[in-house]
Structures are given as structure tokens and as C-alpha cells.
């Protein structure tokens, strides 16, 4: 069996170096000390799609891979919150299954996030917020470490300190959890 041509092996080696460099930069961008990690739901835990059944009920796809990341983060003692505009019960059901507090049906997330952080004496500069769309602009601007998924709306990408490699519902939550765990063990 022959080895890869030199150009291909150099490319993959350079790609690996780039990925490692991006990961290290992302870890350095996280607040230290970390106060909390707050997640939007649609487009973050989901791929932003929705299945609408004939009776009008809705369901969404969530990744168990992402769920395991949240479980590991929770077990590490990191305060976590799901903060969502979506009132659909699927949001609360997923949060309950993950053992994560959830505030949903929130049109203006900034005052609610401010109250939640204040009740816990967490400085917003020590908070990470993961979002994906225009309704996340306020919380992204409010926290010390704004993070967006790879397929975030173009208007919120400039607000982010970290743009994840993964898209919503397909590993973005796990990627952030792994970064936090790498920094805070």
C-alpha cells in the first residue's frame, strides 16, 4: 500500500494544525473564571428545522452527542441555562431530560438573562452565551464570551468571540462543552 502523495499529507497535516490552533484560541477566549454557560435552543440544540404533524404538533431533532456534552458540563458543576424564545413544550421537555433549567417563551432575553445572572451573583463578563440568530444579538452583546454556531445568521457572527466549527443540532453544543471542559477541567 502506498503512502499519500506529499501534497495530500501536507494538506491534512496543515488542516490538523489549523484545527488545533483554532481550538486553543477558542479555549483562551473563554472567561476565567467561568460563571455560567447559557444556550439558546432552536438552531443551537436543533438544526433549526421543525417537523409539523398533521394535527399541528411539532417536534425537533436534537443530538444525543450534544446531550452528553451538557451532562458532562453539568456534572463538572458549571451553572447552565437554556434561554429560548420558543414556547413549544419540546424545549422544556429536552431541558428536563438533560437536567438543565429552562426559561422559554422569552421575547426579550436581555433582562431575563440579567436577572438570572444577578440572582446567582454571576458577573455577565464571566458568562458564555451560545446563540445563532438575530434574537440572540442582545445576550451575545451582554456577556463576556459570545459564541455562535457555524451556521449562525450572518448578522450575529461579528458579535462572537468564538465561531464554532459545528452547526446547530449537529455537534455545536458538544463542541462548546468540550472547550469549556478542556479549560476548566
Q: What is the pLDDT of residue 7?
A: 54
Q: Which residues partner with 148 through β-bridges? A: 131, 163
Would the pTM of this model clear 0.95, i.e. be above it?
no
Which residues fall within 8 angstroms of residue 178, CB to CB, at 6 or more apart? Answer: 69
Which residues fall within 8 angstroms of residue 80, CB to CB, at 6 or more apart? Answer: 36, 37, 38, 39, 70, 73, 74, 100, 101
Q: What is the pLDDT of residue 1?
A: 47
Distance (Å, rounded) from C-alpha 95 to C-alpha 116?
16
Asked if 57 and 141 count as a contact pair (C-beta separation under 8 A), the reply is no
Distance (Å, rounded) from C-alpha 54 to C-alpha 13?
50
Which of 137, 158, 150 lies closest to 176, judged by CA?
150
Which of 148, 32, 28, 172 lies closest to 140, judged by CA?
148
Distance (Å, rounded) from C-alpha 163 to C-alpha 82?
19
pLDDT tens digits for the chain (185 residues)? Answer: 445 555 545 556 555 555 677 878 888 889 899 999 999 999 999 998 888 889 988 878 878 889 999 999 999 999 999 999 999 899 999 999 999 999 999 999 999 999 999 999 999 999 999 999 999 999 999 999 999 999 999 999 999 999 999 999 999 999 999 999 998 76
Q: What is the pLDDT of residue 10?
A: 54
List phi, psi (to 5°) of 36: -165, 160
Beta strand ranges found along 97-160 (DSSP E): 102-104, 127-131, 145-148
Distance (Å, rounded) from C-alpha 26 to C-alpha 176?
9
Indicate the length of the chain as a whole number: 185
Amino acid at each position: 500500500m502506498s503512502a499519500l502523495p506529499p501534497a495530500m499529507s501536507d494538506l491534512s497535516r496543515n488542516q490538523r494544525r489549523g484545527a488545533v490552533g483554532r481550538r486553543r484560541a477558542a479555549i483562551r477566549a473563554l472567561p476565567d473564571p467561568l460563571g455560567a454557560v447559557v444556550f439558546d435552543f432552536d438552531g443551537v440544540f436543533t438544526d433549526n428545522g421543525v417537523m409539523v404533524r398533521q394535527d399541528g404538533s411539532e417536534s425537533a431533532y436534537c443530538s444525543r452527542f450534544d446531550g452528553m456534552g451538557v451532562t458532562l458540563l453539568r456534572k463538572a458543576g458549571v451553572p447552565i441555562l437554556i434561554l429560548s424564545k420558543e414556547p413549544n413544550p419540546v424545549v422544556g421537555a429536552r431541558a428536563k431530560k438533560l437536567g438543565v433549567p429552562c426559561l422559554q417563551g422569552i421575547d426579550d432575553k436581555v433582562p431575563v438573562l440579567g436577572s438570572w445572572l444577578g440572582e446567582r451573583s454571576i458577573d455577565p463578563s464571566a458568562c458564555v452565551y451560545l446563540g445563532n440568530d438575530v434574537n440572540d444579538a442582545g445576550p451575545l452583546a451582554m456577556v463576556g464570551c459570545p459564541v455562535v454556531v457555524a451556521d449562525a445568521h450572518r448578522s450575529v457572527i461579528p458579535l462572537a468571540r468564538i465561531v464554532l466549527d459545528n452547526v446547530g443540532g449537529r455537534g455545536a453544543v458538544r463542541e462548546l462543552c468540550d472547550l469549556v471542559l478542556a479549560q476548566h477541567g
